[in-house]
Amino acid sequence: MPAPLHASDPRKFVTRAGQTLAFTALGFGSAPLGNYLRALPEKECDQTLAAAWSSGIRYYDTAPFYGLGLSEMRVGRLLKQKSRNDFVLATKVGRLLEPCEVNAVNGVFFVDTPQVRFHYDYSYAGVMRSFEDSLGRLGLDNVDILYVHDVCALVHGGREASEGRIQELITSGGWRALTELRARGMVKAIGAGVNEWQPCAR
């Protein structure tokens, strides 16, 4: 009989550039910490993250979209207290957050969010700004993995619209921004955070 799997069991991924990312078998997906469908007290968020850390989880995934910045701030509050070499952190680019009027907040299924709205931007400047804004919310100076978020038909309304976003990423410099951040050591790996396989294959 195989040994039981534990959250803290080690996994490793080696990038094409030879960077090693040491994952745990279980990761922490933090979309719910963005007040997904219901508002969460800060104490409950802190306790949830503390329990995840205590269980041995060392891979954390977040994004600007999750609670329009709330998830990144809450995850960062835990991780900036830890040794930077003790965890793997992923966030995403593709949406920029801008201050807005109360009735213009577009949190979709995230509630009680900051008074901002998102707009899509897969350009060079958009990726760079999204990354810098995420570092500010996280309170960290780098992340391990940077994903392009939601260049998929499910989000944009069809395969043609998905391809349009992929072309925006390529032709307006977004992918170049990702590769520059990786070359400068600001991130170790880049990829796509999407809800279907086709953009990954593309």
For residues 24 and 10, the answer to whether their CB atoms sit within 8 Å is yes
**Local structure of 80: helix, strand or coil:** coil
Q: Could you say which DSSP state residue 172 is in?
A: T
For the question of residue 66 being annotated catalytic, the response is yes
**Which residue in 66, 122, 150, 188 is the catalytic one?**
66
**Which residue in 36, 59, 60, 92 is the catalytic one?**
92
For the question of residue 86 being annotated catalytic, the response is no
Q: What phi-psi label fits residue 113: left (phi over 0), alpha (psi between -120 and 50 degrees) or beta?
A: beta
For residues 35 and 67, the answer to whether their CB atoms sit within 8 Å is yes
User: H helices within 3-123, ranges in order?
Assistant: 42-54, 70-79
**Which residue in 36, 59, 60, 61 is the catalytic one?**
61
Write out the catalytic residue numbers. 61, 66, 92
